[in-house]
Amino acid sequence: MGRRHWLTVVTAGMGFFTDAYDLFIIGTVTVLLTPIFHLSTGQISLLNSISLLASVAGALCFGRLMDRLGRKRMYGTEILLLAAGALLSAFSWNFTSLLAFRVLVGLGVGGDYSTSAVITSEYANRRSRGRLIGTVFAMQGFGLLAGPAIASIFIGAGMPDRVAWRVMLGLGAVPALSVVYLRRRIKESPRYSLSVQGDVAATAEAVHWVTGSQPAAPTNLEPTGLEPTGLEPSQTSRTARLTSQPFLLRLVGTAGCWFLLDIAFYGNSVSSPLILKALQPRGTLLSHTLISLAIFAVAALPGYWLAVGLMDRIGRKRIQWQGFAMMALAFGAIALIPGATRNVWLFLVLFAISYFFVELGPNMTTFVLPAEIFPTSIRGAGDGTSAASGKFGAFLGALLVPHLLAWAGLTGVMGLMAGISVVGVVLTLVALPEPMGKSLEEASAETSTSADTTPVPAAASTR
């Protein structure tokens, strides 16, 4: 572990702080905008969810472009899209313009999910890989806190609604712009430059950059995938490999679990002002925002960092299925205990428990696993497809929860989340391997066949 490992983590993590802030602040913004833009329930749902739908396209495109053009060439582009979308959103003049600019935000968010995870994974060492990738994602927790904290300050200070919503959206560009330069300075991943490009000199330079040691040049340059060393694989061969075994089952597991998790997580988080309004019809927006802030601070944030600490100790798979199981119990209790949706304190305790195990569970691991269990030549596509599936689930959750609240109430919403969580337990146990303690080459099955034998310099893979 060296300072360049942490530079990579901080550079990637600041993007996730921004992602979380921009995705979740919209729930408060739409409450402020409803009387200003005269928003209908359908328009509120669309504004709350459109960035998530756009992030599906962003994750798919950036994931595949990373495999084709390289990690470095794409890194930084996605954060510029995100910053531009945040700034333009602050100057929206009506519903349609805000909707269009939130699409731009979503494209950047989706790209950030795939690029940051893959680059961190390919620079990480064996013993700390889960902790490093998890730390990147845990920065989302601070973004979750920043949204309601900033909103509470503005609302409590009496800032006019017509100004507050613009400032809230525009602030999302600040942390994104702070890391554009650093992202452009990150060198090409040594695993990509060696196994896909066959560039030994660039690989040695990258390993020296991150570890400070000069690796010996590898003598065996057999291909790592289905393509000759130094010759980039075609899109057809990448797709064929991703849909072959064991990678197809892994893709079903990573994409499916991320889809299920994000229905619950984003459905509840983006719509938290509406959920709390259903719980406390007479509560104010400020009180509901402060309650959301308290839940994030007391339950969600500790869950993120406990997951980071346990990732390389008990394993990703165990954290994921146990997290889904505890989510099912918490959501099920809210749905089944008589009066739970009318007793404010009982509901909030159970809701907070669900948040704790979302973070000490699948919200963390669905980000980590896809960056570890696919080979280098298809890692971007595998991770991007998984992230896209998750963001589509997030879109559905954010879009449908307001309507489901109106139709079935809190009991119906929580019952649905409990059922989704049970499916997540089963899919995790059936479809996913455990990569803890393995080199990235072993975890991704690159060393499972005689063709997959290209060594990565020891400084990058075994420390």
Quote the tokens at residue 403: 């309507």
What's the whole-number mean pLDDT along residues 215-227?
Answer: 50
Percent over 90 (pLDDT), the chain: 44
Considering only residues 189 and 389, tell me which one the structure prediction assigns the higher pLDDT: 389
Rounded (5°) CA angle 139-144-150: 120
Of 50-59, 200-209, 300-309, the range with the lowest mean pLDDT is 200-209
Of 229-233, 272-276, 278-282, 337-341, the range with the lowest mean pLDDT is 229-233
How confident is the model at residue 270, as a pLDDT? 66
Q: How confident is the model at residue 231 (pLDDT cuts 50, 70, 90)?
A: very low
Distance CA(437)–CA(215), nearest Å, equals 22
How confident is the model at residue 233, as a pLDDT? 59
With beta carbons less than 8 A apart as the criterion, state whether 366 and 390 touch: yes
Q: How confident is the model at residue 254 (pLDDT cuts 50, 70, 90)?
A: very high
Q: What is the pLDDT of residues 74-133, one digit of tens each?
A: 888 899 999 999 999 999 999 999 999 999 999 999 999 889 899 889 988 888 899 999
Distance CA(35)–CA(267), nearest Å, equals 23
Q: How confident is the model at residue 432 (pLDDT cuts 50, 70, 90)?
A: very high
Considering only residues 293 and 324, tell me which one the structure prediction assigns the higher pLDDT: 324
Task: Write the CA distances from 270 to 49, 153, 215, 265, 307, integer angstroms.
Answer: 8, 19, 47, 8, 22
How confident is the model at residue 217, as a pLDDT? 58
Q: Is the pLDDT of residue 457 over 70?
A: no
Distance CA(383)–CA(137), nearest Å, equals 14
pTM > 0.75: yes or no: yes
Question: For 99, what's the count of Cα atoms within 13 Å in the CB-facing half-sphere?
Answer: 13
Please name the CATH architecture into which domain 3-215+230-448 falls. Up-down Bundle (1.20)
Q: Is the pLDDT of residue 225 over 60?
A: no
Say what the alpha-carbon torsion angle 301, 302, 308, 313 is, to the nearest 10 degrees: -160
421 contact partners, CB below 8 Å, separation of at least 6: 260, 264, 324, 325, 327, 328, 331
What's the whole-number mean pLDDT along residues 256-274?
Answer: 85
Q: How confident is the model at residue 236 (pLDDT cuts 50, 70, 90)?
A: low
With beta carbons less than 8 A apart as the criterion, state whether 377 and 225 touch: yes
Domain ranges in the chain? 3-215+230-448
Region label for 229, one of left (φ > 0), alpha (ψ between -120 and 50) or beta (otherwise):
beta
Q: What is the pLDDT of residues 154-172, one digit of tens each?
A: 888 889 989 999 999 999 8
How confident is the model at residue 195, as a pLDDT? 83
Averaged pLDDT of the chain: 85
380 contact partners, CB below 8 Å, separation of at least 6: 62, 63, 64, 65, 66, 67, 71, 114, 118
Q: What is the pLDDT of residues 353-365, one digit of tens each?
A: 999 999 999 999 9
